[in-house]
Amino acid sequence: MVPHIKTILYTTALGSHTRPVFRFAVGLAKQMNARIVLLHVVEPLNNSVRFLMEAYLTTEQSQQLQHEATRGILEKFRNRLENFCAEELGTTLEQTELLSEIRVVSGVPHEAIMHEADQCNADLIVVGSHTSSRVQAFLGSTSRRLTLLSKRPVLVVPVVDRPENEWPQPLI
């Protein structure tokens, strides 16, 4: 028996290589009649960057800079989704019923992903993982941590260099 999947949390690093992973998530959502919540996690600033910001900027300037960066990520995310919807689905972002929400949060990636999965009551987490001939023995650190710590099913889609037409389609 195939579990009923209503909500898929698709998490992405927004790299140019992630489009096939998103296409896979969209195909799965179509087959399962599910909705996708898109998530991008912005890692917190490291201590060196935080120290420099505190040394040269006021607290207000620092917060404004971080706010603008987050807004820029949201705009980039939205533009990429608009292009994807137009090219792959033949529709606009507003017209598609597959994508229910876009979230950009700050935090340690695997922790933030699990928290957001709880918040949206995701039935499945879809994440891409880099693979290459040099690194086939293990998953990326975020994917690995998710598969070890998540209480929800995690689907790891490999991110490899291959022509667009060679990517597998979901077979459910």
Nearest alpha carbon to residue 93 among 107, 83, 108: 83
Q: Is residue 160 part of a domain?
A: yes
Instruction: Supply the pLDDT for residue 172.
Output: 43
Q: How confident is the model at residue 166 (pLDDT cuts 50, 70, 90)?
A: low
Nearest alpha carbon to residue 40 among 5, 85, 75, 77: 77
Q: Is residue 27 part of a domain?
A: yes
Percent of the chain, pLDDT > 90? 28
Q: Is residue 124 part of a domain?
A: yes
Instruction: Supply the pLDDT for residue 138.
Output: 45
Q: Is residue 75 part of a domain?
A: yes
Report the domain count for the chain: 1
Instruction: Supply the pLDDT for residue 1.
Output: 65
Instruction: Supply the pLDDT for residue 133.
Output: 45
Selected residue with higher pLDDT from 25 and 84:
25
Q: Is residue 172 part of a domain?
A: no
Q: Would you say residue 145 has pLDDT above 50?
A: yes
Q: Rounded to whole angstroms, how far apart are CA atoms 154 and 117? A: 11
Q: Rounded to whole angstroms, how far apart are CA atoms 53 and 132? A: 36
Give the predicted TM-score (pTM) of the model. 0.76
Q: Is residue 17 part of a domain?
A: yes
User: What range does the domain containing 145 cover?
Assistant: 7-166
Q: Is residue 171 part of a domain?
A: no
Q: 85-95 pLDDT, tens per residue?
A: 777 777 777 77
Selected residue with higher pLDDT from 104 and 120:
120
Angle between helices 59-84 and 47-56 (to 10 degrees): 120
Q: Would you say residue 171 has pLDDT above 50?
A: no
Q: 53-111 pLDDT, tens per residue?
A: 878 888 888 888 877 877 787 788 778 777 777 777 777 777 778 888 888 888 889 99
Average pLDDT over residues 120-147: 76
Chain-centre distance for alpha carbon 166: 22
CB-CB contact of 26 with 96 (8 Å): no
Q: Is residue 2 part of a domain?
A: no
Read off the CATH number of the domain in which 137 is found. 3.40.50.620
